[in-house]
Amino acid sequence: MVTIQGVSKSFPGVKALDDVSFGIKAGQVHGLMGENGAGKSTLIKILSGVYTDYSGSISINGEPVRFMSVNSAQKHGVATIFQELTIVPELSIAENIFLGREPVNFGGLINWKKMNEKSVEVLAFLDVHLSPKEPVGSLSIANQQIVEISKSLVLNSKIIIMDEPTSSLTEHEVRQLFLLIQRLKENGITILYVSHKLDEIFEICDTISVLRDGKHVGTKKTTETDRNDIIKMMVGRSLKMLFPERKGGRKNQLLSVKGLTRKGEFNNISFDLYGGEIIGFAGLIGAGRTEMAKSLFGTTLYDSGEIVLLGSKKIRFKHPGEALENGVAYLSEDRKGEGLMLQLTIKENMSISILKRIAPVLFVRNKLERELIRSYSKTFKVKMVSTDQMVESLSGGNQQKVIITRLLMTESQVFIFDEPTRGIDVGAKYEIYKIMNDLTEKGKGIIFISSELPEVLGISDRIFCMREGEIVKEFNKSEADPETIMHVLTGGTAV
Amino acid sequence: MNISNKAKTFLVLIGVNVTIVILLTILSPTFITYGNISAVMSRMSELGMLAIAETIVFISGGFDLSIGAIMALSGAVCGMLNAIGLPFGLVLFISLLVGLGVGAFNAFLIVNLRLQPFIVTLATMSIIRSIVYAMLKGSVLTGLPPGFLDLGYFYIFKIPFLFIVLIVTGIIISVLLKNTIIGRKIFFVGGNEKTAYLSGIHVGRVKYLVYCLSGLISAMAGIMFVIRIRAVIPDAGLNAPLEVVTAVLIGGTTIYGGKGSVFGSLLGILAMYLLLNGFSLLSLNPFWEVIILGLILIVVVGQKSISESLRRLFPSRKTERQVQVKPETV
Amino acid sequence: MNTTLHSGYRKKGLKEYFQFREIPILFYIIFIVIIFSILIDGFFSIKNFENISRQITTIGIVSVGMTMVIITGGIDLSVGAILSFAINIGGLGISLGWPIPVVYLVMIGLGLLLGFINGFLVTRIAVPALIITLGTMNIYRGITMVITRGIYITGISSSYQIVGEGLLPFMFFLIILAIFVFITLRTRFGRNLFAIGERGESALYSGVPVNKYKVITYVLSGFLSAFAGIILVGKSGFIQPQAGMGYEMGAIAAVVIGGTSIFGGSGSILGTFLGSLFMGLILAGLTMLAVNPFWIGFITGFLILVAIAVDSLRHRRKDYSGG
Q: Contact at 8 Å (CB) between C66 and C77?
A: no
- Cα B4 to Cα A346, A370, B12, B15: the distances in Å are 16, 19, 12, 15
For residue A355, is pLDDT > 50? yes
CB C78 within 8 A of CB C248: yes
Q: Kindly give the parts of chain C with pLDDT less than 70.
A: 1-20, 200, 315-323
Distances (CA, A) of A286 to A196, A468, A469, C4: 11, 7, 8, 9
Condensed to tens digits (0 to 9), the pLDDT of residues A62-99 reads: 888 888 888 888 888 899 998 888 888 889 999 999 99
CA atoms of B85 and C273, how far apart (whole Å): 49
pLDDT at C19: 47
Of residues A403, A240, A232, A408, the one with CA closest to residue A332: A403
Crossing angle of helices B161-179 and B203-229, rounded to 10°: 170
Distance from the Cα of residue A360 to its chain's centroid = 40
* C317 interfaces chain B, CB cutoff of 8 Å: no
pLDDT at A106: 81
Radius of gyration of chain B (CA): 22
Alpha-carbon gap, residue C202 to A151, rounded angstroms: 12
Predicted confidence at residue B319, as pLDDT, reads 38
Contact C295 B134 (CB under 8 A): yes
- The 8-class DSSP code of residue C22 comes to T
How far is it, in rounded angstroms, from Cα A2 to Cα A189? 12
**Residue A492: pLDDT band by 50, 70, 90 thresholds?**
low
Q: What percent of chain A has pLDDT over 70?
A: 96
| Chain B partners within 8 Å of A406 (Cβ) | 199
Q: What is the pLDDT of residue A351?
A: 87
B157 alpha carbon, distance to own chain's centre: 27
What is the DSSP secondary-structure string of C95-153?
HTT--HHHHHHHHHHHHHHHHHHHHHHHHHS-S-HHHHHHHHHHHHHHHHHHHHTT--B
B40 neighbors B294 (Cβ within 8 angstroms): no
- Is the Cβ pair C252, B287 closer than 8 Å? no
Q: Measure the CA–CA gap between C305 and C298, rounded to whole angstroms.
A: 11
Spatial neighbors of A478 by CB under 8 A, at least 6 apart, are: none
Mean pLDDT (chain B, rounded): 84
Contact A482, A236 (CB under 8 A): yes
CB A88 within 8 A of CB C195: yes
Beta carbons of C301 and B305 less than 8 Å apart: no
What CA–CA distances, in Å, run from C156 to B55, C231, C240?
47, 13, 12
d(CA B99, CA B107): 12
DSSP A494: P
Query: Does residue A369 sit in helix, strand or coil?
Result: helix
| pLDDT of B186 | 95
pLDDT of B252: 83
pLDDT of residue C15: 32
ipTM over 0.90? The verdict is no
pLDDT in tens, A232-253: 787 765 445 567 777 667 788 8
CB contact under 8 A, B201 and A321: yes
User: Do A34 and A20 touch, CB atoms closer than 8 A?
Assistant: no
Is the distance from CB of B305 to CB of C127 less than 8 angstroms?
yes
**pTM of model > 0.80:** yes
Question: What is the amino acid identity at position B216?
Answer: L
* Contact (CB<8Å) C13/A136: yes
pLDDT at B229: 86
Taking the Cβ of residue C189 and every Cβ of chain A, the question of whether any pair is shorter than 8 Å is answered with yes
Inter-residue contact B285 to C146 (CB < 8 Å): yes
Answer with the residue of higher pLDDT: A357 or A347. A347
- For residue A101, which residues of chain C lie inside 8 Å, CB to CB? 206-207
Q: Which of chain B's residues have a Cβ under 8 Å away from the Cβ of C309?
A: 109, 113, 115
Distance CA B259, CA B5 (A): 12
Pick the closest to residue A131 from A149, A116, A114, A110 (CA basis): A116
Whether the per-residue pLDDT at A494 is higher than 50: the answer is no
**Integer Cα distance of B258 and A174 in angstroms:** 46
pLDDT (tens digit per residue) in A156-184: 888 999 988 887 787 788 888 898 899 88
Bridge partners for A314 per DSSP? A308
Q: CB neighbours of B245 closer than 8 A, spacing ≥ 6?
A: B54, B297, C131, C134
Find the CB nearest B191 among A57, A343, A386: A343
Contact A389, B2 (CB under 8 A): yes
Confidence of residue A401 (pLDDT cuts 50, 70, 90): confident
With contacts defined as CB-CB under 8 Å, which chain C residues touch B301? 127, 131
d(C-alpha B43, C-alpha B194), whole Å: 40
Q: How many angstroms separate the CA atoms of A26 and B87, rounded? A: 89
Domain ranges of chain B: 5-284, 288-325
DSSP three-state, residue B160? strand
Which of C3, C5, C72 to probe by mutation at the A interface, max A CB count within 10 Å? C5
For CA atoms A332, B62, C138, C193, the dihedral sign is positive
Residues in contact with B329: Cβ distance below 8 Å, sequence separation at least 6, in sequence order: A66, A68, B323
Mean pLDDT by 10 residues, chain B (330 residues): 63 80 81 80 89 96 94 93 84 94 96 90 91 86 72 72 91 93 93 92 95 97 90 86 86 86 90 81 77 83 74 58 33
Residue spans of beta strands (DSSP E) within A293-378: 304-309, 313-315, 328-331
Q: What are phi and psi of A6, to 5 degrees?
A: 55, 35
CB C302 within 8 A of CB B141: no
**Of the candidates A427, A422, A424, A491, the residue with the CA atom closest to the CA atom of residue A456:** A422
Give yes or no for a contact between A327 and A412, defined as CB atoms under 8 angstroms apart: yes
DSSP one-letter code for C289: T
User: Are A447 and A415 a contacting pair, CB within 8 Å?
Assistant: yes
Chosen from C1, C7, C192 to mutate, greatest number of chain A CBs within 10 A:
C7
Q: Among 3.60.150.10, 1.10.10.60, 1.10.3470.10, 3.40.50.970, name the CATH number for the domain at B5-284.
A: 1.10.3470.10
| Mean pLDDT, range A1-27, rounded to an integer | 84
pLDDT digits (tens, 9 = 90+) for A94-126: 999 999 888 888 877 888 899 999 999 888 888
Distance CA C309, CA A44 (A): 40
Sorted by sequence, the CB contacts under 8 Å of residue B307 that are 6+ apart come out as none
Which residue, B229, B236, B211, B225, is CA-closest to B72? B236
